[in-house]
Structure 1
Amino acid sequence: MQLGTRWSAGGDPPARLTEAFVAQVRAVEADLPAGERGVARWTLTWLEGRPVAELDLGIVVTLDHTGRVVVRHDDEDEFG
């Protein structure tokens, strides 16, 4: 695992992320209650070269083994 960075929901994600990945991050942020925007924070790490962005509210945006962007809640099984 490689440590990345943190940023506030609604802020600018790291430029290294693909457009498709950022689009899913923005879609998650669009569904947040107004009071969470700018308060909730994303943590970006890299696992096996793939980005994993976790919102401190428990929402995870990552890439699957085919490169497809996946959104899940941290209590869901990543492989099921």
Structure 2
Amino acid sequence: MQLGTRWTSGAQLPAAVPEALAVGIRAVDEAIPLDELGQPRPRWTLTWLEGRPIAELDTGVVVSLNADGVAEVTYDGGDAFA
């Protein structure tokens, strides 16, 4: 069994995040604009489904690994972003 974890977008990724998944997470983090009013950034949740890592942002953005082990970004389980 693998336990998940949570962290704030833009913060250092936990050691449990595989590097292939981290690539997609960093790309999403870089696309989130800074809030000039000081609102907190959304948080990521890392879970494992059938041994595969899935990171979901509070906003509904999901980063998972496709069959080739490459990070794929979707929104609430919908279509992948181009």
TM-score (norm 2): 0.78
Gaps of 5+ in 1: none
CA RMSD of aligned residues (A): 2.4
Q: In structure 2, what residue type is equivalent to 1:62?
A: S
* Alignment correspondent of 1:29: 29
Match for residue 68 of structure 1? Answer: 70
Q: In structure 2, what residue type is equivalent to 1:59?
A: V
Identity over aligned residues, as a percent?
50
Q: State the match for 1:41 in structure 2.
A: 43
Deviates more, 1:29-38 or 1:1-10: 29-38
Bigger Rg, structure 1 or 2: 2
Structure 2, unmatched stretches of 5+, are none
Following TM superposition, the consecutive aligned residue runs of length 4 or more in structure 1 with deviations greater than 3 angstroms are none
TM-score, normalized by length of structure 1?
Answer: 0.80
Whole-Å Cα distance in 2 between the matches of residues 62 and 75 of structure 1?
A: 10
**Number of aligned residues:** 78
Q: Distance in 1 between matches of 2:44 and 2:60?
A: 10
